[in-house]
Amino acid sequence: MSKKCLVVDDSKVIRKVARHILETLDFTVDEAVDGRDALDQCLETPPDVVLLDWNMPVMSGMEFLRALRQSDLPIRPKVVFCTTENGMGHIRAAIEAGADEYVMKPFDRETLESKLQIVGLA
């Protein structure tokens, strides 16, 4: 059975690139345009992993992450933050808020695959 990834990004281009890479890694991919949309989808059908953008309208990546961690899902998806924010403070904040891993944009297949391996999904 293939693993499911929810790609959360307000950029259509990034979602398309991520989808392409993930599908070559045998993931089934769903997309969300912001954190609110992503949260609704996760509560309805939790994916195995969420590839999460930091800066989005409506609900940011951090707000989504906090809400997801407070939800009563029996099995929480792994969360890989995907962002242009590369300061150590951002990385620390993301990990403290419950992110499992962190990938910098722009990313390639190799980088994304290694991060998914780290969280146990590749």
Q: Element (H or E) spanning 7, and its range?
A: strand 3-8
Cβ atoms of 39 and 67 within 8 Å: the answer is: yes
Among 7-21, 45-59, 73-87, which stretch is predicted with the lowest mean pLDDT?
A: 73-87
Q: What sign has the CA pseudo-torsion 31, 29, 114, 73?
A: positive
Phi-psi category of residue 26: left, alpha or beta, with phi > 0 → left and psi -120 to 50 → alpha: left
Confidence at 12, pLDDT banded by 50, 70, 90: very high
pLDDT tens-digit map of 23-75: 999 999 999 999 999 999 999 999 999 999 999 999 999 999 999 999 999 98
* pLDDT at 1 (0 to 100): 73
pLDDT at 85: 72
Q: Give the pLDDT confidence score for residue 6 in this predicted structure.
A: 98
Non-local (6+) Cβ contacts of 27 within 8 A are: 2, 3, 4, 5, 48, 49
Report the chain's terminal Cα–Cα distance, integer Å: 13
Q: With 90 as the cut, is the pLDDT of residue 122 above it?
A: no
Condensed to tens digits (0 to 9), the pLDDT of residues 85-103 reads 777 888 899 999 999 999 9
10-20 average pLDDT score? 96
User: CA 45, CA 94: separation in Å to the nearest integer?
Assistant: 23
